[in-house]
Chain A
Amino acid sequence: MSVSAAPLVKARRRIPIGAAIGLFFTGLFLSTAIFAPLIAPHPLGEIVGDVWMPMSAKFPLGTDNLGRDLLSRMIYGTRTTIFIAAVATALSFTLGSILGFTAAVVGGWFDMTMSRCVDLLMSIPTLIFALVVLSVLPSNLVTLILLMGTLDSTRVYRLSRAVAADINAMDFVEAAKLRGEGRAWIIFREILPNALSPLVSELGLRFIFAVLFLSALSFLGLGVQPPQADWGGMVKDNKDGIVFGISAALMPAAVIGALAISVNLVADWILNRTTDLKGGRGNG
């Protein structure tokens, strides 16, 4: 079957235009987050002018509902949003992938218990569950990160367990088990190198989800609390201006979209250039 087996792998040397744009903007957002205090023209909470001033040379994006510089707040917001989303994603990935891999390799009661618990957690919509919990817990940084990380780790668990279970069923893993290799070798040397690409691409998607989720919570008034600035909270602060034709609320909202699109483009590209497990050259 020479023909059907041919195109399995698309290895591209050059970065496609979409991914290049995505990489550029992702990089831009990251450096903004890191160097926020250096870039921002005004301090975070300083009232510098009137309420909802239009765009001008002095205030490139105008001022907000309290007369603070919108651009400066957005720059600081980049930092808050990306920091919380990144830490939550890191938590969900560490938790989800370690448990998922272990469940796939160990199997038995551990797998059963973990998988049923995850099924249960996933049978409540994430946002609803978060709202239920936030009705009791204080909405501070630690709560938010723990909550988002835990809830999102269920998805990472499912993916990494599925990927690892696929690889675990392959003959080369069985060969390693027959050789007498320990669990550490099997997970880190046999399974992990083959599971990396789908997981890295998933990392991007989970990060986007965290950004959107955090923004939604803050928009509902249950996420990042003042005086901290984050994008979702800024939309909430300025939303009343919309009816007067003031677009201040749209700016942070648009930036959330821009970050999500950029990361999406990068994740898509990583997924596409992923070589398949058999490494190509047909399979027969």
Chain B
Amino acid sequence: MSPIVRLIVQRIALGVLLLFLVSILIFAGTQILPGDVAQAILGQQATPEALANLRAELGLNDPAYFRYFRWLGGVLTGDLGTSLTTGQEVTATLLPRLWNTLFLSFWAAIVAVPLAIVLGLISARYRNGWVDKLISGLALTSTSLPEFFVGYLLIYLCAVKLQWFSSISTVYDGMPFLDRMKAIALPATVLTLVVLAHMMRMTRAAILNVMQSAYIETAELKGLRPIEIIRRHAFPNAIAPVINVVMLNLAYLIVGVVVIEVIFVYPGMGQYLVDHVSKRDVPVVQAVGLIFAAVYIGLNIVADIAAIVANPRLRHPK
């Protein structure tokens, strides 16, 4: 088992290194680019004194690396800084929102993953048949439609015309579970549709790739039935690529969540980020950006580890 453990440890270490570099990049993106935070906050008409005061207050006169490590130290101890516009602790505001976003993504994933795998299997099984063509046609359409088209169409039909749901997905602390579920029904549906097509297409490709292997022919020439071939020979070899597909698309999901939260005015991280980008509230943007990147990198690590664990060559070394 040792080479497997070594590879996994290596992969995680690489992920941590990547996250560190990403934090530098995000910091650099907001600090060193030719825009001045103080100027951005106060606007073009600000007096030089006001600018100088704000710069001093924000610590902008310290060298960049110094400010970076001060920020990183804070992040590592759970202190994400103070919002420039509201003056509130970012960490305290952010945690409930993070929870809301994870709640929404979780339920979208719960629906999307099994559905995508089943549709992918059906597509692969009836390759080039009408079912396959229909599914890939729908997939093509749904990857081409912007999230807000699907979102507002659903609001228009289900909330305005049919009045089944509210057009705004309000959630609050202590909200009963079922109410909460009803509130996220529409955004979760849109989110599901957003990732479903990609996930399904890639699952189909992964399974077809396995089905074209010579050992599938061997199984066929043993007289096994198609279902036995899939269960005994195709599926065990398709697990790793499929897990990989799922993880990569869950990473895609956290991008989709930003726009969808804005559409449904859902109090999550995405909306928080967008609000504060237009207000040029740098500490909030840095914090939320870093968390999104961390989740994204984390999912990629899980995908790679799944591929490592599922590889028989690594599980059973020579």
Contacts and interface: CB of A to CB of B under 8 A. Distances in A.
Given A123-B296, A131-B274, A257 B146 contact: yes
Contacts of A137: 33-35
Contacts of B289: 124, 128-129, 131-132
Given A123-B297, A128-B258, A257-B144, A136 B282 contact: yes
A260 interface: yes
Main secondary structure of the interface of A (DSSP, over half): helix
B141 interface: yes
Contacts of A249: 148, 152
Contact of A208 (B18, B144, B296): B144
Given A123-B293, A133-B33, A260 B251 contact: no
A211 to B, nearest CB: 9
Contacts of A132: 26, 29-30, 277, 285-286, 289
B55 to A, nearest CB: 15
Interface in B63-100: none
B46 interface: no
Given A208-B144, A215-B146, A220-B259, A123 B280 contact: no
Contacts of A136: 29-30, 33, 35, 37, 40, 280, 282
A120 B24 CA distance: 11
Given A136-B35, A257-B144, A264-B144, A123 B149 contact: no
Contacts, number: 150
A119 B148 CA distance: 29
B152 A124 contact: no
Main secondary structure of the interface of B (DSSP, over half): helix
B281 interface: yes
Interface stretch (B154-162, B181-189, B221-229): B154-162
A254 B149 CA distance: 6
Contacts of A261: 140-141, 144
Contact of A235 (B25, B143, B148): B148
A60 B253 CA distance: 37
Contacts of A133: 29-30, 33
B155 A135 contact: no
Contacts of A195: none
Interface in A129-165: 129, 131-138
A175 interface: no
Nearest to A251: B149
Contacts of B280: 135-136
Nearest to A133: B29
B255 interface: yes
Contacts of B178: none
Contacts of B281: 135
A124 B22 contact: yes
Interface stretch (A70-78, A107-115, A237-245): A237-245
Contacts of B297: 123
Nearest to A261: B144
B146 A216 contact: yes
A263 to B, nearest CB: 8
Given A124-B293, A127-B258, A243-B167, 8 more contacts: A126-B255, A131-B273, A131-B277, A135-B280, A212-B146, A245-B161, A250-B149, A250-B156
Interface residues of A, number: 45
11 contacts: A120-B25, A131-B258, A132-B277, A135-B281, A136-B30, A137-B35, A235-B148, A242-B152, A242-B156, A257-B145, A257-B146
A253 B148 contact: yes
A125 B254 contact: yes
Given A123-B22, A136-B33, A221-B278, A239 B258 contact: no
A256 interface: yes
A204 B72 CA distance: 40
B312 to A, nearest CB: 26
Contacts of A129: 29, 289
Interface in B253-289: 254-255, 258-259, 262-263, 273-274, 276-278, 280-282, 285-286, 289
A52 interface: no
B140 A264 contact: yes
A222 interface: yes
Contacts of B254: 125
B255 A128 contact: yes
Interface string A214-229: 0110011110000000
B282 A128 contact: no
